[in-house]
Amino acid sequence: MSLSTHVLDTTLGIPAAGVAVRLEHSACTLAEAVTDGNGRIGALGADLAAGTYRIVFDTGTYFASADRPVFYPEVAVSFVISDPARHHHVPLLLSPFGYSTYLGS
């Protein structure tokens, strides 16, 4: 099973580069990475089994580094992997005062 993410700064209309991301399962950290210049992490974790996972995005540090206000210093997205053979993509659309996510392809 593969897992990827993509973070877009919707206020500026650009990829959110440099966002620290953590993958968790059963309160354990499985992987950590930082979004690249295109706001992407192509591979987060490996050989993930069926179950409930959580991706935590460090949005506070991202906004603070640009001296921008932030209301949500951390965004945690919980999701279920029911088919470990399928690729899962969890994007985050981000602004200082709101966010949205969805199951991507």
The whole-number average pLDDT for the span 9-31 is: 97
The answer as to whether 94 is a domain residue is yes
Measured between alpha carbons, how far is 73 from 23 in angstroms, rounded to an integer?
17
Q: For the domain that residue 19 is a member of, what is the CATH number? A: 2.60.40.180
pLDDT at 46: 84
The answer as to whether 104 is a domain residue is no
Residue 33, pLDDT > 80, answer yes
Phi and psi for 100 in degrees, rounded to 5? -145, 150
- Dump pLDDT digits (tens) for 34-87: 999 999 999 998 889 999 999 999 999 999 999 999 999 999 999 999 999 999
Q: Which domain holds residue 20?
A: 3-98
pLDDT at 47: 87
pLDDT at 2: 85
The answer as to whether 49 is a domain residue is yes
Number of domains present in the structure of the chain: 1
The answer as to whether 69 is a domain residue is yes
